[in-house]
Structure 1
Amino acid sequence: MVADCERVQTSWFRTQADVLGGESWDDGALTWTDGPDGLNLMFPRELDTAAVRHGVQIALARGRSSVGVWLNTGVDASALRECGFERGWAIRWMAASLAAVVADGGDRDGRVELQTTTLDYEGEHADYGDRLRLTRQEPSVAWYAAAYNRPADVRPSDRPRRFAGRAWSFYDGGADGIAGVFDMEVWPRFRRRGLGTALLRTVCSAAREAGASRVVLNATEEGSLLYRSCGFTTIGEGITWWLHLNS
């Protein structure tokens, strides 16, 4: 099942890069993506020092500030150490049946909306809104939900609702029927109000309607408590490695 998680994560990074003006490519047995999450090497089965160094050279030529590697814990990482990478944060894989996460006939939470455009991002985060181009692809493969701290039908005289969090789901139509949940977060001041559960169920429902039957994600330690309450179980771990380059 961990291999399924790795496949979905790689497909998500590839899709983001290809749709949002980045690039993904294979260099022998290595799969690289250069997209909104930076330049990343995705779950190599084995590592060759020369091939890794070639990827670092590409990152330097493109002015990237770092290179990330997503790795199965069973893969020898000595080539990364030789190239100056440092061990990063752990990947905590969790999975669930979509039937367990999405309640049949349940009422939608009015504080959460599926969106294809957004005006919620500004300032240093303004570029994030461009990612919603992913939701406008045909056929649909990605869904974005935004959470607000007031119901969607607030009256004009009421205090405006405030942007409180977001989540994505992604399903590439793979024969395994597995979707992924990504970049899910409720801003700290709005937590413990049920918005995380509402976001999760909203994006999972969209993936289920598209034909997915199971869902996987990479959880933080804090987030894993929420996911367990929604039917997820821990199925394995991975590790990231990072090389920070001079700007």
Structure 2
Amino acid sequence: MLLPTLLDAPALRRGVARARGLGRDVVGAWLGPDVNPAPLEQVGFERGWSPWWMAAQLVDVPAEADQRVRLQLETDDYQGEHAAYGRLLALAREQPTRAWYAGAHVDGRFAGHAWSFVDGELAGVFDMEVWPPFRLRGLGTALLAAVCAGARRAGARHAVLNATPDGELLYRTAGFRRIGDGVTWWRHLAD
């Protein structure tokens, strides 16, 4: 759930049941600091990390192509215990397209990934990560550019994301500006 302003415990229970029925193992909620989290606690969510909210106009985000990063509809990068993540690629195949997945590869090795999701003129960028051995090589910038370009082509004008201190410089360099602080909440469905 991205930035709800009002939470309702019965609706949250229905959402958790739906996620469980879809085979998900975790549900997350990203809140602004002014949202009452009590309904999340009632449904078994636990407080997570506190991100920095950042936003940009997509015309300001560089769109340089990088051969190491491409948008994908299918991948065999997720095997074994990570196979469930690979099933999320079904989101990228939905029509009309509202979600984009980018994978990064260096010398044939999987090096990182990122997602974007569009709702009207707003794109959310999430789950962006470059594996430690491949950091500081421009892959984060290339992943961000790829998923933002997909969202821009679909009509999004703005993008939001949450950043950790490690990612803040990359996002700021790409045109994102800090707009506030947030809180994450997580419900692990194996519980």
- TM category (shorter chain) comes to 0.7 to 0.9
Give the counterpart of 1:232 among 176, 179, 186.
176
Cα deviation digits, residues 88-116 of structure 1 (max 9, x gap): 3113210011111134xx4x111111111
Equivalent positions of 1:16-35 (< 5 A) are none
- Distance, in Å, in 2 between the alignment partners of 1:73 and 1:140 is 31
- Distance, in Å, in 1 between the alignment partners of 2:42 and 2:105 is 46
Tell me, yes or no, if structure 1 residue 142 matches structure 2 residue 99: yes
Please tell me whether Structure 1 or Structure 2 has the larger radius of gyration of its CA atoms: 1
Kindly state the Cα deviation for residue 69 of structure 1 after the two structures are TM-superposed.
4.6
- The amino acid that maps onto 1:137 is E
Normalising by structure 1, we get a TM-score of 0.65
Task: Indicate the residue corresponding to 2:118 in structure 1.
Answer: 171
**Unmatched 5+ residue regions in structure 1?**
1-8, 11-41, 151-160
Cα deviation digits, residues 162-191 of structure 1 (max 9, x gap): 11001111113x1xx111111110001110
Structure 1 stretch displaced more, 89-98 or 65-74: 65-74
Task: Indicate the residue corresponding to 1:127 in structure 2.
Answer: 84
SS in 1 for 2:113: strand
Equivalent positions of 1:111-122 (< 5 A) are 111-122=68-79
- The amino acid that maps onto 1:178 is L
Cα deviation digits, residues 97-149 of structure 1 (max 9, x gap): 1111134xx4x111111111001111110121111111111111111111011
- Distance, in Å, in 1 between the alignment partners of 2:12 and 2:71 is 40
Residue 118 and residue 54 in structure 1: after superposition, are their counterparts in 2 closer, same or farther (change >3 A)?
closer
Task: Indicate the residue corresponding to 1:18 in structure 2.
Answer: none
SS in 2 for 1:225: helix
Residue 236 and residue 246 in structure 1: after superposition, are their counterparts in 2 closer, same or farther (change >3 A)?
same
- Distance, in Å, in 2 between the alignment partners of 1:127 and 1:82 is 27
Normalising by structure 2, we get a TM-score of 0.82
Tell whether the 8 Å contact from 2:13 to 2:43 is kept in structure 1 after alignment. no
Pairs aligned (count)? 186
Residue 231 and residue 123 in structure 1: after superposition, are their counterparts in 2 closer, same or farther (change >3 A)?
same
Tell me, yes or no, if structure 1 residue 93 matches structure 2 residue 53: yes
The CA RMSD over aligned residues, in Å, is: 2.9
**Unmatched 5+ residue regions in structure 2?**
none
Tell me, yes or no, if structure 1 residue 196 matches structure 2 residue 146: no
SS in 2 for 1:189: helix
- Distance, in Å, in 1 between the alignment partners of 2:6 and 2:100 is 30
Residue 126 and residue 100 in structure 1: after superposition, are their counterparts in 2 closer, same or farther (change >3 A)?
same
- Distance, in Å, in 1 between the alignment partners of 2:182 and 2:147 is 24
Tell me, yes or no, if structure 1 residue 43 matches structure 2 residue 4: yes
Residue 241 and residue 198 in structure 1: after superposition, are their counterparts in 2 closer, same or farther (change >3 A)?
closer
Aligned-residue sequence identity (percent) comes to 56
Kindly state the Cα deviation for residue 240 of structure 1 after the two structures are TM-superposed.
2.6
Task: Indicate the residue corresponding to 1:216 in structure 2.
Answer: 160
Tell whether the 8 Å contact from 2:12 to 2:40 is kept in structure 1 after alignment. no
- Distance, in Å, in 2 between the alignment partners of 1:54 and 1:113 is 35
Kindly state the Cα deviation for residue 53 of structure 1 after the two structures are TM-superposed.
11
- The amino acid that maps onto 1:170 is F
Tell whether the 8 Å contact from 2:7 to 2:39 is kept in structure 1 after alignment. no
